[in-house]
Each structure stands twice: as structure tokens, then as C-alpha cells.
Amino acid sequence: MEKHHDRAVCVMSVGGGKYLEQYRIVERQMQQYAARCNADFVFINDWIDKSRKRDIYSQKLLIADYLRQYELAAFFDLDIIINPGCPDIFADIPDECGLAAVVNPRGEDKFRKIYAGNERILNETVQDYFTSRGFEPDNRLVGNINGGVLVFRPSLVADAFKEYYYSEHTQGGHTAYEEAPMAYYAQTHNMFYALDDRYNKMLPFESGREEFAWIYNIHHNRLYLIADKLITKIFHKKNALVTGKHVRFVNELIREGAYMVHMSGGFYSVAAAKRLMKDLGYEGQN
């Protein structure tokens, strides 16, 4: 890995199949964004930990160590759509920040709508989130994060994240993977910076807003869910029935001012991602 800048933009896609397809769709987008940020582009295409002590998602805990030669490194999931006018994500990162991420909107109306009927999550406090995953309570905790967009200062967090990865600590039956330990360490060591949520507009939460009730209703319609499951089984293409609606949803968020849109929570489709790359003017997409 040849270094040209003090910053890096990183994505990960291990193996073939759907993740490689996702990577090929957004490869040029990621490369162009890295160039605009004066950052090297780093593609990780294999397990960082070859022994596979933890799952593939937890490999993110090792990225800061893998990119230790850089002053700052940003990681993006493959279902992130970047506004061509997105500012430099590194520009406002404080010197004391070891980890920056968007904090989930616990307590907001859109959060409550998405989790309506799930009393455990609705009533869960920030302290509950971490203690239920085996971490000690701490009044410096500010919230749980989403791991789709992360910025690291490797010199401050690489050792701690790596140590946790190779530890025997478990999170019980919860599936927070890398997010809980990253957030816990950075927040309890006063090294966390909450990114502007425009850097990670998550479609599930945004669908909970009143003005986007149309997309929320689709994703909670029983007949749609049955039809989508059947079509996915036959054609291996998820959300094929609503490609245009997903494209419209993302474009509306970008017009509102979203810097990055995260097609998570069952909203992703290959067809929509391809169309968005074309709509947003990224060249060379497959």
C-alpha cells in the first residue's frame, strides 16, 4: 500500500458475490471523493485478521491499525451514496478526536416511529445500550453510533480497537459488532466527535419522517414484503418492484442537503445504486 497523502478513504469488500458487485458500482464514486479530500483511496479486499477470530463486520475494529500510517482515515460502507457536492469529511475533525461517527437519533420522532412496538428499544437508555452489551456504565457516554461512515485518527485508537478485537469480550445476544466497542472506548476517553448527521442519512430513520410516509408505508406493507421476498428468491434482486421510488427517495434527501445517504435497513438494491450513480454524474460505473 503506497502512501501519497496523510489521509485515506477506505472501503472493504471481501470475496466475490454481492459485495463485490456493490463495490464495483460505487468504486468510481469513492475514488473521486477521496481525490476531492486529498486522500489516498484504499480498497481492502481480504480479511484483515486471517484467523477470523470475529465476524466480517468486526473487521472494522482493525481498520485503524491497518491504516496506521495515516493521520486520518475515513471508512464507508458499500451502500453509501455520496452527494457530488459533499464537503471534505476530514475538515472539521478536532485534533483530539480518535473516532467520529453519526449518533443514532434516539428519542426523536423518526426513531420512535421506526421502532414502534419494540418496547425494549423504545425504552432503552444510552446507558442501557452499553451495559446490556457488557460494558460498564459511564456518564461520558453520549449515544450509540452507526458504523456506515466512520472517521479514525489511528494514532489515538488503533491499539485499543485492536486489543478489543482480540479480547474475549462478547456482547451477548446483541449484534452491535464494531459499533458498541468503538463508541464506548472513544466516548469514555473523551476522543469522540459526533459527525453532522448529513454525513450519514440512514434511509430507515428518514422514512420515519412525516413527509416520507409514502416510502415508510411501502416498506411496512405486508403484500409488498411478500412479493419482494418471492421476487428476491427467484431473481436474486431485492427491491426490484420499487427501484424508482428508492432512487426518488435518495435524490430528495440529497436535494435537501444530505452529504451522504446510507441505503441500509432493507432499502438497498443494485438497480437503484446503479441509477443513482448515473443520476449523480459519476463516470465509469459498471
How many Cβ atoms from other residues are within 10 Å of residue 236's Cβ? Answer: 10
Q: Measuring CA to CA, which residue among 251, 249, 245, 240 is closest to residue 203?
A: 249
pLDDT of 176 over the 90 cut: no
The pLDDT-based confidence of 175 (bands split at 50, 70, 90) is low
Q: Measuring CA to CA, which residue among 164, 212, 142 is closest to residue 59?
A: 164
Q: Worst-scoring range by mean pLDDT, 9-18, 70-79, 260-269?
A: 9-18
pLDDT of 89-136, one tens digit each? 999 999 999 999 999 999 999 999 999 989 999 999 999 999 999 999
Considering the four listed CATH numbers 3.90.550.10, 2.60.40.10, 3.30.160.100, 3.10.105.10, the one that applies to the domain covering 7-197 is 3.90.550.10
Mean pLDDT rounded to a whole number for the chain: 95
pLDDT of 49 over the 80 cut: yes
Percent above pLDDT 90 for the chain: 90
Enter the pTM of the model.
0.94
Biggest CA pair distance of the chain: 52
pLDDT of 286 over the 50 cut: no
pLDDT of 217-241, one tens digit each? 999 999 999 999 999 999 888 999 9
* Distance, CA of 168 to CA of 151 (rounded, Å): 25
Residue for grid cell 475538515: 91
pLDDT of 7-25, one tens digit each? 999 999 998 788 899 999 9
* Distance, CA of 216 to CA of 119 (rounded, Å): 20
The pLDDT-based confidence of 194 (bands split at 50, 70, 90) is very high
Tell me which amino acid residue 74 is: A
* Segment 145-153 mean pLDDT: 97
* Segment 1-5 mean pLDDT: 86
The pLDDT-based confidence of 173 (bands split at 50, 70, 90) is confident
The pLDDT-based confidence of 283 (bands split at 50, 70, 90) is low
* Distance, CA of 130 to CA of 175 (rounded, Å): 12
CB 255 within 8 A of CB 83: no
pLDDT number for residue 285: 43
Q: Worst-scoring range by mean pLDDT, 16-25, 47-56, 64-73, 90-99?
A: 16-25
Domains of the chain, by residue range, sit at 7-197
pLDDT of 204-218, one tens digit each? 999 999 999 999 999
pLDDT of 261 over the 70 cut: yes
* Distance, CA of 213 to CA of 266 (rounded, Å): 16
